[in-house]
Structure 1
Amino acid sequence: MRTEAYTTQSNKKTIAVFVGLMILGLVGMLLDGRSAADSLQSGGVTVFGGLQRSTAAVGAFFSETVASIHELSRLREQYDMLAERLHGMEENMADIEELYRENQRLREALQFSSVLQYQNEPAQIIAKDPGNLFGTLSINKGAAHGLRPGDPVIAIQDGRQGLVGRIMQTGRFTSIVQPMFDTRSHVAARLQETRLEGIVSGTGRPDSPLQLQFIPQRARSDLRTGDVVVTSGMSQIFPPGILVGTIVSMQAMPYESSLTIELGPIIDFNRLELVYVLTGTNSDGGES
């Protein structure tokens, strides 16, 4: 009986221990299951958060790119506008500079006009009509300003007064000038040093030499390149002493009694802008 009771009690202890171990196992399994679920949930949150951050970064990149494109477009428009304004300012500065130079030229013209020994009318060349044989200049003064056909026309370049030609025709407010290089122009002149007299004629072009005729060959040894020729005053048109040109070449033809002399005009007709018409100096406007 004792033995049976001992056995029964031992079995009960074994069963109790087994049940306890089973309960502990179940509790551990439950705890492990919760940890796994928590780990899975945490991992899912981490992955999803990473995707959200990547999407946000890509969106921000494209937003910044679009904003940069708009900013570049705006800056380009501002640049074009500023470039256009700068170009306009440069044109205005060029116009102002040209007006300043024109003002300076006009002031110098008025100063020269006041010191000339002859009564004169300053005028501006408004047209040029050069030809193979004939050439004329148009000026902005006419009969209303006291100009008459035959009036001498001079200019000042590089500080020197030089002969341009004469008034050929007058309108009320404009006139036509016959320049010295016109083949129809003939000016009574003399050499400033030797006082030999001759006639200066044009050759038809503003950049061609003038011709001094009727200087005798015997005077060849007395002449030099660079000698100055002035008006002689031996006509009813041009007063004496106005610079005409300087000798650039001389030739003595054996069959002629006169020298062939070429003159470089004092006035450069290619850059002529302002002239002075000497009024009241000629007594016969039709004579050349």
Structure 2
Amino acid sequence: MVLNTILKNKRLWVIVIIIAALFLAITVSKSGRKGITGLENSVITVVKPLQKAVFSGTRGLIEFVETITQIGNLKEENLELKKKLSLLESDIVRLKELELENQRLREMLNFKEQSHLYEMEGAKVIGRNPGNWFETILIDKGQDSGIAVNMAVVTDKGLVGRVIDTGRNWSKVLLIIDQRSAVSGMVQRTRDNGVIKGQIDPIDMGNCKMIYLPAESNILPGDLVISSGLGGIFPKGLIIGKIIEIKKEENELLKYALVRPSVDFQRLEEVFVIKKHGDQ
């Protein structure tokens, strides 16, 4: 803006040119002479302060232009550095995701290698139903991979649920925390049998209820509950969860227990579908 103002001020430029011409004439005319005339001395006296001012102003202008240029370069460099930082942050997030996925897949692979009795198909969770607790999930494997209705679904942590619908490359899985789900379970320590149902009560949402337990059963909080194998859908011995509370039914002839599933359904990303097991 300052530079444009100076360039547009014609009067200032006329004065500068006249001064420069006078100074040049004096310089040329005095070359080869020993002294200067009184007129030349007067002109030099007048011109010298103006020359100094013009020189100082020009130098200041040059420095100002250089400063503006440097600021522009710094802004461009700053923008470039911000872009590189953003890319680096994205790479860090991507690498962290790959690291976590690699860890999960290693655990799943170890589980698969240890489960010699099962023929399993790995799948990724690609959808969930809208709700605080997801009672059904969608996975990316279906009929083309040999997946069929009523196949059990697990992770290395325990039982997830069963397949209730399939397409060519997708399947819908009913989770064990759904109130429509029913799994034959057994308390591992006492061998007491019962049925694992999803909870309707919002207070206990996300837990399961183990019903039809004998009143005289000696079950305790912390006891592990596994699948009993009854019914043919779920193979025996799959981890379901741990008992966190025990209560008597209203008729006091039976007990029921609240069971916290071993699978974290809120963070479910990969699963196995058991296509065939030892009981089949």
TM-score by length of 2: 0.77
- On the 8 A contact 1:113/1:122 being kept in 2, the answer is no
State the one-letter code of the partner of 2:127: A
Q: 1:106 Cα deviation (Å)?
A: 3.0
Q: Secondary structure of the residue that 1:263 maps to in structure 2?
A: strand
Distance in 2 (alpha carbons) for counterparts of 1:245 and 1:104: 22
Distance in 1 (alpha carbons) for counterparts of 2:107 and 2:121: 14
Q: Which residue of 1 aligns with 2:148?
A: 148
Matches within 5 A, 1:48-63: 48-63=47-62
- On the 8 A contact 1:137/1:178 being kept in 2, the answer is yes
Q: Which residue of 1 aligns with 2:120?
A: 120
Q: Secondary structure of the residue that 2:244 maps to in structure 1?
A: strand
Q: Secondary structure of the residue that 1:101 maps to in structure 2?
A: helix
Matches within 5 A, 1:163-178: 163-178=159-174
Residue of 182, 185, 189 corresponding to 2:185: 189
Distance in 2 (alpha carbons) for counterparts of 1:130 and 1:191: 32
State the one-letter code of the partner of 2:98: L
Q: Which residue of 1 aligns with 2:244?
A: 248
Residues 130 and 59 (structure 1), Cα distance of their counterparts in 2 relative to 1, 3 Å cut? closer
Q: Which residue of 2 aligns with 1:211?
A: 209
Q: What CA deviation, in whole Å up to 9, does each residue of 1:132-166 have, x standing for no partner? A: 8982111111122122211111112xxxx311111
Q: What CA deviation, in whole Å up to 9, does each residue of 1:174-222 have, x standing for no partner? A: 1111110111111111111111111110125895210000112222xx2
Q: What CA deviation, in whole Å up to 9, does each residue of 1:86-106 have, x standing for no partner? A: 212321332233234334433
1:229 aligns with 2:225: yes
Matched residues, number: 242
Return the index of the structure with the highest Cα Rg. Answer: 1
- On the 8 A contact 2:208/2:259 being kept in 1, the answer is yes
Distance in 2 (alpha carbons) for counterparts of 1:243 and 1:260: 18
State the one-letter code of the partner of 2:51: Q
- On the 8 A contact 2:128/2:134 being kept in 1, the answer is no
Q: Secondary structure of the residue that 2:273 maps to in structure 1?
A: strand
Q: Secondary structure of the residue that 1:279 maps to in structure 2?
A: strand
Q: 1:57 Cα deviation (Å)?
A: 0.6
Q: Secondary structure of the residue that 1:173 maps to in structure 2?
A: coil
Q: Which residue of 1 aligns with 2:265?
A: 269
Q: Which residue of 2 aligns with 1:279?
A: 275
Residues 261 and 105 (structure 1), Cα distance of their counterparts in 2 relative to 1, 3 Å cut? closer
Distance in 1 (alpha carbons) for counterparts of 2:237 and 2:130: 27
Distance in 2 (alpha carbons) for counterparts of 1:207 and 1:271: 16
Q: Which residue of 1 aligns with 2:254?
A: 258
State the one-letter code of the partner of 2:199: T
Q: What CA deviation, in whole Å up to 9, does each residue of 1:14-72 have, x standing for no partner? A: xxxxxxxxxxxxxxxxxxxxxxx967864652442232112211121122112211221
Q: Which residue of 2 aligns with 1:31?
A: none
Distance in 1 (alpha carbons) for counterparts of 2:257 and 2:121: 33
Q: Which residue of 2 aligns with 1:27?
A: none
State the one-letter code of the partner of 1:84: K
Among the aligned pairs, what percent are the same residue? 32
Distance in 2 (alpha carbons) for counterparts of 1:199 and 1:57: 95
- On the 8 A contact 1:162/1:244 being kept in 2, the answer is yes
More displaced 10-residue stretch of structure 1: 200-209 or 70-79 = 200-209
- On the 8 A contact 1:238/1:282 being kept in 2, the answer is no
Q: Which residue of 2 aligns with 1:25?
A: none
Distance in 2 (alpha carbons) for counterparts of 1:100 and 1:253: 47
